[in-house]
Chain A
């Protein structure tokens, strides 16, 4: 007759402390690879547009002439596809989840990457200008 099979577990739970975490007063448990939100570094982006083509939610918008890179935080699902496919390492994934907001958030960044100048080919130029 199996009555009160739960007794041992109940007593063990009473002796131990609470099993839950009082989030958001206490920060959430994260691991080093938790996918929280995407972080963009404007100084290294070369405007190739791969992240915008690969995004499955169309959350990234890139304007090459205006040099503007926008991410719609409410469409982003933090899948990490853009972070993996960026060939220059301008995107990274942070562990914290973003707090809830009451208005539509679109984060806009101005791309500040400047292409380094090529060193001038001195001997050949002097030859041509001299005729």
Chain B
């Protein structure tokens, strides 16, 4: 009867971007069980909604996470706008789409770099983050901040992008796409990477759907579910089809994210070409009264903001369900059967963003 030992993984680990603790039950280097535990970075941001008026809560909402920050602000603003019944102008919807897709590019490039670092491929890690700097430069030139954009507000956007800047972004996308395709080629076609990733952490299609997982964890197993297909912001006019792989292992989840890089560049190009003229915001008066579930596709999956207004300037409740919380059951199912040395790769393949999970 082999002996069982318990090895703690995290909260400090070089491969984790944020602290999560998992107790791994091992039998001679093979994982048989995993027990997660969170709470290292709980900041009580859901309670802060009772102390900040609803226009200022956007700043809190975008600071829930540093990697997916624009889309939290977008989800919150869309929820408030739906409760109050305001329509935002067309130009602001296209601008929000462009900034969302740049956010997704930077998040996926960050994840690809950490994933390569977890595999031991440091040169690829440095190259991914070098490409990510181009995206952050665009973000800084158009919004003023590299990661926290602070441009989304209730009623539209705060800042416009001029035509020469849009033309420059459109030209630079060609060179950027070529370099991203080179990078994606290494992830998808290199034999050493494939040997490391194929067959690891497999989740079948029915299991992924029944466990309630979200994002590339779900799409890597063959379920075509992507909130961008519902057509919020400008996706209705631009049209979007979900990127799906069927194998359900770490290689498939990596391939979903690499192909989403290419589809994001395509959306940005089409949004810049089809950008309408017009105002960028509408004046919002009154207070929200009512409730709504607002859903947006973040880089890690679908995020749900449940907002309840009671007619005063402070909301009664903001409940934020982030995709990593939905992927934790999938992680607990994926880990048994993996070797101890493969645990960092499996944990990273669901893209854990723990500061979102614990708000």
Task: Verify whether A and B have any Cβ pair under 8 Å.
Answer: yes
Q: Which residues of A contact B (CB under 8 A)?
A: 1-6, 8-10, 13, 19, 29-31, 33-35, 54, 56-57, 77, 79-81, 84, 93
Q: Majority SS of interface residues in chain B?
A: helix
| Given contacts A31-B141, A31-B144, A56-B56, A84 and B123 within 8 Å (CB-CB) | no
Report how far A10 CA is from B183 CA in the complex, Å: 11
Of A5, A79, A80, the contact of B190 (CB 8 Å cutoff): A5
Contacting residues, chain A, for B189 (C-beta < 8 A): 2, 5
Return 22 A-B CB contacts under 8 Å, by A number: A1-B191, A5-B185, A5-B186, A5-B190, A10-B123, A19-B133, A29-B137, A29-B140, A31-B140, A34-B144, A34-B145, A35-B144, A35-B145, A54-B56, A56-B57, A56-B60, A77-B59, A79-B59, A80-B144, A80-B158, A84-B158, A93-B144
Contacting residues, chain B, for A8 (C-beta < 8 A): 182
Report how far A29 CA is from B141 CA in the complex, Å: 10
Closest to B130 in A: A19
Q: Nearest 6 A-B pairs (CB), nearest first?
A: A2-B189, A56-B56, A56-B59, A33-B144, A5-B190, A35-B144
Question: Which residue of A6, A10, A34, A54 has the most chain B CB atoms within 10 A of its CB atom?
Answer: A6
Q: Is the CB of A56 within 8 A of B52?
A: yes
Contacting residues, chain A, for B144 (C-beta < 8 A): 31, 33-35, 80, 93
Q: How many A-B residue pairs have CB under 8 A?
A: 60
Q: Is the CB of B182 within 8 A of A9?
A: yes
Query: B192: CB under 8 A from chain A?
Result: yes
Report how far A84 CA is from B127 CA in the complex, Å: 38
Residues 48-82 of B, flagged 1 when their CB comes within 8 A of A and 0 if not, give 00001000110110010000000000000000000
Q: Majority SS of interface residues in chain A?
A: loop
> Apart from A33-B143, A56-B56, what are 5 other A-B pairs with CB-CB below 8 Å?
A2-B189, A5-B190, A6-B123, A6-B124, A56-B59
Query: B150: CB under 8 A from chain A?
Result: yes
Q: Which residues of B contact A (CB under 8 A)?
A: 52, 56-57, 59-60, 63, 123-124, 127, 130, 133, 137, 140-141, 143-145, 150, 158-159, 182-183, 185-186, 189-192
Contacting residues, chain A, for B190 (C-beta < 8 A): 2-6
Contacting residues, chain A, for B183 (C-beta < 8 A): 9
Report how far A2 CA is from B195 CA in the complex, Å: 11
B49 to chain A, nearest CB (A): 12
Contacting residues, chain B, for A29 (C-beta < 8 A): 137, 140
A94 to chain B, nearest CB (A): 12
B318 to chain A, nearest CB (A): 14
Of A2, A10, A31, the contact of B191 (CB 8 Å cutoff): A2
Q: Is the CB of B192 within 8 A of A9?
A: no
Contacting residues, chain A, for B192 (C-beta < 8 A): 3
Report how far A77 CA is from B144 CA in the complex, Å: 13
Contacting residues, chain A, for B56 (C-beta < 8 A): 54, 56, 81
